[in-house]
């Protein structure tokens, strides 16, 4: 029962914890190899938005390595503990309340990592040149074009359903038609509104373009990065929308898991046990 249903793509940067959790979906060998190279993966991902120069590259590498070392020392253990509770829960039905408790715990881990990540990147973000800020703006424009195509087009609902099915099947294996119908129903009830999400995304991008690249506003940049990386809303409306989405996600998580068979749950539990063991092995390195 460890996947998030109906997560629309965001322009918000991925933290080390999210890199690690994404790698969990690809098996043990990918996790062990990928986590060790997380600073390189993050540098590559950030390079899709801004091309750092020769003077900035060592600073970026140092910042990402420091966060990676901190994450290994402090965050792998609670993440492994969370995975243990998940594989213990997997054989039985779960309630929406239990699903929300798991999500809240994962969100707390994300928030701590986001704060560390923002602190590390804020000095470099203040050094972005006008040319790099133009690169960032152009990258946002490309991403927004792709986002509109994927999530505001005529096949957007079908795309969201298919993504949710694929996430579930990574842990449970093939879903039956009845289970796919459960997924479709939870996606339809998710409360996701493409136009609202897009407007929030555009506002966040505008904030970044106004604040980054200005040394005098480095403290403001740090707080902005913390808020964006931890997926916190900036206004009451944003927070209300995200909280409603989170509650719908808890409902979806419970409904889909509770529709699975004993064999599917054992498959999920086995994968979660393997991933927990892998994280504990990484802790010992």
Residue 58 belongs to a domain: yes
Which residue intervals of the chain are DSSP H helices?
A: 16-24, 28-36, 38-46, 56-74, 76-89, 96-125, 130-151, 156-172, 177-188, 194-211, 218-229, 236-258, 262-283
Q: Which residues contact 284 (CB under 8 A, 6 or more apart)?
A: none
- 174 domain-assigned: yes
Domain annotation covers residue 60? yes
- For residue 127, tell me if it sits in a domain: yes
155 domain-assigned: yes
Residue 6 lies in a domain: no
Alpha carbon dihedral 178, 183, 270, 71, in 10-degree steps, equals 180
pLDDT of 138 reads 95
Residue with tokens 């390195």: 285
Domain that holds residue 140: 16-283
Cα–Cα distance measured from residue 179 to residue 183, given in angstroms and rounded to the nearest whole number: 6
The answer to whether 171 and 2 are in contact (CB under 8 A) is yes
Q: Is residue 11 part of a domain?
A: no
The pLDDT of residue 272 is above 50: yes
Q: What is the pLDDT of residue 147?
A: 92
Please indicate, yes or no, if residue 4 is contained in any of the structural domains: no
The pTM (predicted TM-score) of the whole model is: 0.82
Query: Residue 29 — very low, low, confident or very high, per pLDDT cuts 50/70/90?
Result: very low
Interval 46-79: pLDDT, tens? 778 889 899 999 988 898 889 888 988 998 899 8
Confidence of residue 28 (pLDDT cuts 50, 70, 90): very low
Please name which of 250, 197, 242, 224 lies closest in space to residue 9, comparing C-alpha atoms: 197
Number of domains in the chain: 1
């Amino acid at each position: 029962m460890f996947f998030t249903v109906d997560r629309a793509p965001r322009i918000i940067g991925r933290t080390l914890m999210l890199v690690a959790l994404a790698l969990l979906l690809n098996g043990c060998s990918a996790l062990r190899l990928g986590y060790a190279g997380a600073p390189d993966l993050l540098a590559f991902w950030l390079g899709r938005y801004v091309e750092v120069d020769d003077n900035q590259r060592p600073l970026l590498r140092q910042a990402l390595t420091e966060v990676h070392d901190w994450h290994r020392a402090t965050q792998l253990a609670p993440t492994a503990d969370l995975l243990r509770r998940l594989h213990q829960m997997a054989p039985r039905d779960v309630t929406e309340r239990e699903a929300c408790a798991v999500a809240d715990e994962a969100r707390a881990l994300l928030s701590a990592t986001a704060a560390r990540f923002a602190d590390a990147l804020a000095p470099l973000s203040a050094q972005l040149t006008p040319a790099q800020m133009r690169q960032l703006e152009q990258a946002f424009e490309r991403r927004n074009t792709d986002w509109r195509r994927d999530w505001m087009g005529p096949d957007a609902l079908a795309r969201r359903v298919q993504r949710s099915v694929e996430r579930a099947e990574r842990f449970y294996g093939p879903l039956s038609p009845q289970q796919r119908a459960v997924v479709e129903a939870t996606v339809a009830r998710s409360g996701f509104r493409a136009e609202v999400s897009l407007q929030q995304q555009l506002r966040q991008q505008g904030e970044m373009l106004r604040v980054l690249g200005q040394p005098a506003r480095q403290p403001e940049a740090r707080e902005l990065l913390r808020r964006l990386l931890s997926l916190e809303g900036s206004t009451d409306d944003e927070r209300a929308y995200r909280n409603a989405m989170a509650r719908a996600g808890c409902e979806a998580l419970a409904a889909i898991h509770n529709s699975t068979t004993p064999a599917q749950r054992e498959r999920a539990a086995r994968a979660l046990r393997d991933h927990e063991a892998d994280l504990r092995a990484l802790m010992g390195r």
